[in-house]
């Protein structure tokens, strides 16, 4: 009799645990974009003054909407650099990326603002990010080389652009990239079938299969968010001109702020390896 009561109690506890687990699955499925995207919002009436404090001028589309921020070249620009940032903060917080690039060469530097970030309307998602990136890329001068620099989740945006503009993107620099976002999600949420639940399936590994321009891969050796192995898999699988730099002991947010001298070496690598013409 005691055994039967214990067995019933065990089954009730098991049922409750299963129900709780299913609720967690449902919550993750519904609210996953709130877990992935962590935007900083800035009121529209103050954002331009905030931008000026970071050295940025507004970057607008033909409709007059602010789609990001720019640092124009000091003299005649020789190229454009588009920065697509990570999943947290907003574009204005990326002066640590934009300023050294700007100081390294006579280039116009543009930082894309994602939908739902800063003062920009819309909601974050893979679809909205890629649409915003495509619009932004089309605004860059077409008579000059165009480079794309990414940070973290932005690797998915940058490589999608590369896939769609094979001969137009003269080079990439990918900070703390990943081979596909679903695997990163599974690593972070090992107790859930996150790989299958993920809606926004950025896949840099697949995108780079068709791109053959120069790519600089920059990996944090102790990346606690993505994991160094994911970025190394992306870099090792790339068959075009590449440079791989691993910062041993560095964490996810430690390596994007490189000095102008470092960026001059990246520009040299890009320029020595011209992107092949599309066939």
Helix 260-272 to helix 95-104 angle, to the nearest 10 degrees? 60
Helix pair 154-164, 126-139: axis angle to 10 deg: 60
- pLDDT in the model for residue 135: 97
- Split at pLDDT 50, 70, 90, the class of 2 is low
Q: What is the pLDDT of residues 221-232, one digit of tens each?
A: 999 999 999 999
Q: What is the pLDDT of residues 41-84, one digit of tens each?
A: 999 999 999 999 989 999 999 999 999 999 999 999 999 999 99
Q: Which residues contact 119 (CB under 8 A, 6 or more apart)?
A: 41, 42, 43, 44, 47, 66
Average pLDDT of the residues of the chain: 92
- The pLDDT-based confidence of 279 (bands split at 50, 70, 90) is low
Q: Which two tokens stand for residue 52?
A: 């000026």
Q: How many CB atoms lie within 10 A of CB 223?
A: 22
Give CA separation, 101 vs 82, 170, 266, in Å: 10, 15, 10
């Amino acid at each position: 009799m005691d055994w039967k009561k214990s067995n019933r109690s065990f089954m009730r506890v098991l049922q409750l645990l299963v129900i709780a687990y299913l609720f967690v699955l449902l919550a993750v499925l519904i609210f996953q974009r709130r877990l992935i995207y962590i935007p900083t919002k800035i009121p529209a009436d103050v954002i331009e003054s905030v931008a000026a404090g970071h050295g940025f001028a507004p970057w607008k589309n033909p409709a007059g909407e602010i789609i990001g921020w720019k640092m124009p070249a000091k003299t005649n620009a020789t190229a454009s650099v588009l920065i697509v940032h990570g999943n947290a903060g907003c574009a204005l917080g990326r002066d640590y990326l934009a300023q050294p690039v700007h100081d390294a060469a006579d280039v116009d530097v543009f930082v894309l603002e994602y939908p739902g970030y800063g003062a920009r309307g819309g909601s974050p998602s893979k679809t909205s990010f890629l649409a915003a990136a495509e619009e932004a890329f089309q605004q860059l001068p077409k008579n000059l080389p165009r480079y794309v620099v990414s940070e973290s989740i932005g690797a998915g945006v940058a490589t999608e652009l590369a896939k769609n503009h094979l001969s137009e993107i003269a080079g990439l620099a990918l900070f703390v990239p990943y081979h596909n976002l679903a695997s990163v999600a599974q690593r972070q949420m090992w107790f859930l079938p996150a790989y299958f639940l993920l809606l926004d399936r950025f896949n840099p590994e697949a995108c780079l299969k068709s791109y053959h321009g120069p790519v600089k891969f920059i990996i944090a050796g102790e990346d606690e968010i993505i994991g160094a192995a994911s970025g190394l898999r992306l870099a090792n699988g790339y068959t075009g001109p590449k440079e791989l730099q691993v910062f041993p002991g560095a964490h996810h947010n430690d390596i994007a702020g490189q000095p102008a001298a470092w960026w001059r070496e990246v520009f040299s690598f890009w320029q020595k390896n011209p992107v092949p013409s599309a066939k």
